[in-house]
Structure 1
Amino acid sequence: MTEKKERPPLEWKKLKVGAKMKYIMTNITMEPVIAMYIIPNALEVITTSNLKLEKACRVNLAYPDHVCDALMSRNITNLTSEEDRVQEAVTWMNSWVTMLHSLLPLILLFFIGSWSDRNRRRKPCMLMPLAGEFISIMGLILCTYFASWPMEVNGLIEGVFPSLTGGWMVMTVAVYSYIADITSEDERTIRIGVVNMFVSLGLPFGTFFSGFLFQKTGYYGVFTTVALLYLFGILYGAFIVKESQTPRPLPKNILMDFFDFTHVPETFTVALRKRPGNLRLRIFLVVLLSVVITGPIMGEGAVGYYFTRKQLNWDEVDYAMYSTYISILGLFGTMIMLTLMSSVLGLDDSIIGLIACVLKIISNIIFSVSKDTLTFYLVALIEMISGTSMIAMRSILSKLVPSDDLGKMNSLFGIIAAVAQLTFPALYSIIYSSTISLLPGAFFILGSGLYTVAAFIFIFIYLLKRQEDKSADKKDGNEAEVRDLISEESGTDTSKVKEGEQKVKPLKLVLEEDADGLYEDIKMIDE
């Protein structure tokens, strides 16, 4: 087994900018694999959406070429009904594509982490999602070439292959497990921060260039570029990245070893296990919180592009510019929020999450009725810290369960995210297609409702924590009374008893507890 090299604790805050950059660059291992997954994924989104729109127009609905050419070039002044029908067809297809895209990763999450731990193999879990995306993009090139194929073929290719190989959910399990293997506890936060930086910067970078690349090179140019990036990631991961530990030999029956059902129940019972005080209730609330926070993120991402085409008459470049803008705002907003609210003011995680939810509620209500670009850009300033709600939720979770249960809880969160990806994009697509003529932004109102539920959960978690803190203070006070009583009855210095320097005479201590597990009555009985 490969042993981790323990290095002296790194005093990160005292390092100068140049030293920090040198440390990051000299310790890069699997970060390029992350970049080669995130960037091409962001590059292809708009182009894939446009291909589905064009297939729906030309093949499924069989509109004349001049109508489809006008729709694709955004000249829709007299073609509003045609645009609506095309978008309705695509959004209905997206509802089942999203289910297909999420179903198998959900199943894989029950087994992939345990298999990786038992066999000490992280690289296959990183390379599988890249391979699935590469096969998918090659299939989309074929869809572009065979213009008569309907959009459903696009949907199957887009959904089946990434789903079979796990997608981003499996990639996340592999990445964070790999980081834990190769780092000491002192530097682990730094390395996780570097990974988050690659993700945060990769998304706006890919999105920013996606619209321009599509306009300059078309479908073939974008898809070829994306395929090459995925291929580079696969080769880099296979030949440059080393396994974090010495792998164990694989058993003869790999499938039986992988799908070992004995490890499944622990993932669910970890949230329901009886715990002291109100811990079990708070853990359950955090699990519920993950549903109502993750859902709107998944749903809005599924229909956001189509909404801006309809309501704001944006094209792919406009949407790419706005996506880059809100990604950068979110990155800076989260950094400012955490630094100011958490480090400087010392606010509780629940309060930080509550503030983020309230601002998201306000911005979503305005988004739902907005009809001009300027309003969209200004309102984005309000929701720039909305990502903090997810960080606050993760922080609360890490403080509620012991380290032995964190892995299982993170697996459970992954499963919840998979279910959210399975259901919420489909739900949002149905709502959008049903209200496209009346109120296209109706799905934003649904998001406001879900964030309202999240806000109340944050409040409830905060009140439960305050209650637990008061109970702990009261219990500490009662324990002090017990020590004093022992000292008084036995004539012994309890501080010495604790150190084993003096023995207490035989006494029976009876503690009668109230409903909260606190000491209600204390009795000393001679034996």
Structure 2
Amino acid sequence: MGISMKKTLTWLKLFIFNISIEPMLFLFYAAKTTVSVVKEDLKLERFCLVTLNHTQEECSDLIHNDNIQIEVQHLDNDFLFFESVVGMVIPLIFLTFIATWSDKHGRRVPIIAPMTGFVIWCTIYFFEALFPTWPPEILLIATFLDSCGGGFTTFLMGYYSHMVDITSENTRTTRLGIVMVVKNLGIPTGQVMGPVLHHAGGYLLVFGSAAGMSVICIIYAFIMVKPKPQNKISNDSSNSPFCNSIKNNLVQFIRTAYKRRPGSDRLCIIVLLFGMMLVNSSQPHKLYLWTRRVLKWDEDQYTLYKTSSELIGQLVMLIFSLIVKFGKVHDCHIGAAVTLLLWSKLISLGLTTRPDQWWILYLFLISPDSFGSMTVRSVLSKICGKEDIGRVFSLLGIMEVIWSVVDNAMYAAVYDASIKYYPSAEHLFGAAITCILFAIFLWVKWIQDWDTIHQKTQYSNSRSPTDASHNEIPSTHIIISNAHIQDRETATDNHIHHHVIADIMTSEAITPNALQNNKDDISLSASETSQTNSQGNESYHYSDVD
């Protein structure tokens, strides 16, 4: 008994002393989701009262005033598109350099800057609620100033990179799992808090509380996340102009993603990057506006659904993860299955036209929608390898920011055209996108299987009595040898490696003399270019665990 209690106390002590930014993540996610529904109500109210000049009585009962609600939702739909445009530019710039910069200086800035932007956002919404005559267009300023902190994508990159920095390989998976659980618990907490605070003290209490929680998070992060010591910061970080740094990073991302690779790997990466855009476009977009228009829901009913969705979603994710782990299912098969479930959900929502069909939304709470993006990232990481995945994920983040504008433009056009006669049309549009995504997952699995069979055939032919000799080595062995050469010359031979691979892939078998010549060429070229490449290639670690 005494030994067991001692072990428990020791474990508890280690757990407490290992706590890092987990409490901050819980509180900040709660703050973000506290305002998620209430902010939409404020915008709808301002469009109705200020822009359209309707009376308070008419605007307080939009659910039962179809004509006014259609007018208001038209304005809000257009506003959401402009928000996506205004909020894109600065995060796009941030993503091209902040990860490399934080590798040298620490993660404090990419964690604190987005939270500071959110505090400014809450402050402007607070004053918008305080002065009823202010037009809703002022809220675009809030979106822009929020984006000046780097946006939520920068925050994700910052806290994930920090957790990678402070954990060992043995404990990293467990710690990241704990982080995911903690932050996800903050989401339903905030969704419950929002309506409660709104009923208790109106908009001012909601936005004031969210700003206060975010300030606490900033102070906590400032204390817990330490910058790197100055003597560990590379002296060459100030030699490159800011614009050149952004350009060079972006070029590196693109070259890494589209460089020549064995088999069909490069084509698979290109297709999967496009597939990730479709994953984002296949999710329901105007869900809150749609539930108000079709199901006649109010804020409380929608919040109940979203809270249930988050809680049940976590349980479904856990069960699905266990099935995937012990069932040893291929990633592409998982993606295809999840996409098929999502297609069924969108088709069902697309055919929903009456308030008494509300149960359809709850029926699909068991659909693990987020597994689509996780599957794409998993397949990408396995194709790219550890040395390239950081840059590929960075390019993916940039593409997602740019695509969000295209995505919002498409759905804004669909919803605007259909809101009066058939508002569920946007779900049918999403279902059509999932068909393409489903085909992508199956194609990637097929092409990978084909590459495997082709490589085995080549290897068998190279070992046949008519072709094999002691002076010949299969090209697959050359590629492996070349990978070892690249490991020794990581800082200087990226460009040379591409040409060597290209030469190797054109021949069925290469003699040891040719291999030695390739090694000599690489060593010579690497030494000749060491002066021009003294800065090396910075490691860019970014992955989104969300």
| Pair 1:290-2:281 in alignment | no
Deviations 1:212-238 (Å, cap 9, x if unpaired)? 221222101111110111000110011
Mapping of residues 206-221 of structure 1, within 5 Å:
206-221=190-205
Is the contact made by 1:115 and 1:258 (CA closer than 8 Å) also made in structure 2?
Answer: no
Is the contact made by 2:116 and 2:218 (CA closer than 8 Å) also made in structure 1?
Answer: yes
| Pair 1:38-2:29 in alignment | yes
Is the contact made by 1:87 and 1:306 (CA closer than 8 Å) also made in structure 2?
Answer: yes
Selected match of 2:146 from 157, 162, 166: 162
Deviations 1:174-194 (Å, cap 9, x if unpaired)? 122222222222222222222
Q: Which amino acid aligns with 2:37?
A: I
Selected match of 1:139 from 114, 124, 132: 124
Q: Which moved more, 1:279-288 or 1:28-37?
A: 28-37
| Pair 1:467-2:458 in alignment | no
| Counterpart for residue 454 of structure 1 | 437
Q: Which amino acid aligns with 1:288?
A: F
- 2:337 aligns to what SS in structure 1? helix
Deviations 1:111-162 (Å, cap 9, x if unpaired)? 1112222x332101100000000011111111111111111112322x1111
CA distance in 2, matches of 1:521, 1:132: 58
CA distance in 1, matches of 2:348, 2:145: 38
Query: Deviation of residue 425 (structure 1)?
Result: 2.6
Seen in structure 2, the aligned counterparts of structure 1 residues 18 and 55 have a Cα distance that, compared at 3 Å, is farther
Selected match of 1:320 from 303, 306, 316: 303
Is the contact made by 1:36 and 1:229 (CA closer than 8 Å) also made in structure 2?
Answer: yes
Is the contact made by 2:462 and 2:468 (CA closer than 8 Å) also made in structure 1?
Answer: no
CA distance in 1, matches of 2:417, 2:361: 26
Seen in structure 2, the aligned counterparts of structure 1 residues 49 and 381 have a Cα distance that, compared at 3 Å, is closer
Is the contact made by 1:212 and 1:317 (CA closer than 8 Å) also made in structure 2?
Answer: no
- 1:385 aligns to what SS in structure 2? coil
| Counterpart for residue 93 of structure 1 | 79
CA distance in 1, matches of 2:244, 2:176: 29
Selected match of 1:426 from 392, 396, 409: 409
| Counterpart for residue 148 of structure 1 | 133
Query: Deviation of residue 197 (structure 1)?
Result: 1.8
CA distance in 1, matches of 2:458, 2:507: 6
Deviations 1:184-212 (Å, cap 9, x if unpaired)? 22222222222222332222221132222
Seen in structure 2, the aligned counterparts of structure 1 residues 243 and 488 have a Cα distance that, compared at 3 Å, is closer
| Counterpart for residue 374 of structure 2 | 391
Q: TM-score, normalised to structure 2's length?
A: 0.80
Selected match of 2:383 from 395, 400, 414: 400
| Counterpart for residue 199 of structure 1 | 183
Mapping of residues 341-490 of structure 1, within 5 Å:
342-370=324-352, 371=354, 372=356, 374-381=358-365, 384-481=367-464, 485-486=468-469
CA distance in 1, matches of 2:404, 2:317: 23
CA distance in 2, matches of 1:101, 1:336: 36
Q: Which moved more, 1:43-52 or 1:28-37?
A: 28-37
CA distance in 2, matches of 1:236, 1:258: 32
Is the contact made by 2:462 and 2:509 (CA closer than 8 Å) also made in structure 1?
Answer: no
| Counterpart for residue 320 of structure 2 | 337
What RMSD in Å do the two structures reach over aligned CA positions?
Answer: 3.0
| Counterpart for residue 126 of structure 1 | 111
Deviations 1:84-114 (Å, cap 9, x if unpaired)? 1111111111110121112221222111112
Query: Deviation of residue 240 (structure 1)?
Result: 2.9
Deviations 1:329-362 (Å, cap 9, x if unpaired)? 222222222211x222211100010000011001
| Pair 1:56-2:47 in alignment | yes
Seen in structure 2, the aligned counterparts of structure 1 residues 344 and 240 have a Cα distance that, compared at 3 Å, is closer
Q: TM-score, normalised to structure 1's length?
A: 0.82
Query: Deviation of residue 520 (structure 1)?
Result: 9.1
Query: Deviation of residue 421 (structure 1)?
Result: 2.4
- 1:63 aligns to what SS in structure 2? coil
| Counterpart for residue 271 of structure 1 | 257
- 1:277 aligns to what SS in structure 2? coil
CA distance in 2, matches of 1:488, 1:277: 25
Structure 1 unaligned runs (5+)? 1-15, 490-514, 523-527
Structure 2 unaligned runs (5+)? 1-6, 473-503, 512-546
Query: Deviation of residue 252 (structure 1)?
Result: 10
CA distance in 2, matches of 1:267, 1:233: 32
Is the contact made by 2:253 and 2:394 (CA closer than 8 Å) also made in structure 1?
Answer: yes
Is the contact made by 1:132 and 1:167 (CA closer than 8 Å) also made in structure 2?
Answer: yes
Seen in structure 2, the aligned counterparts of structure 1 residues 366 and 488 have a Cα distance that, compared at 3 Å, is closer
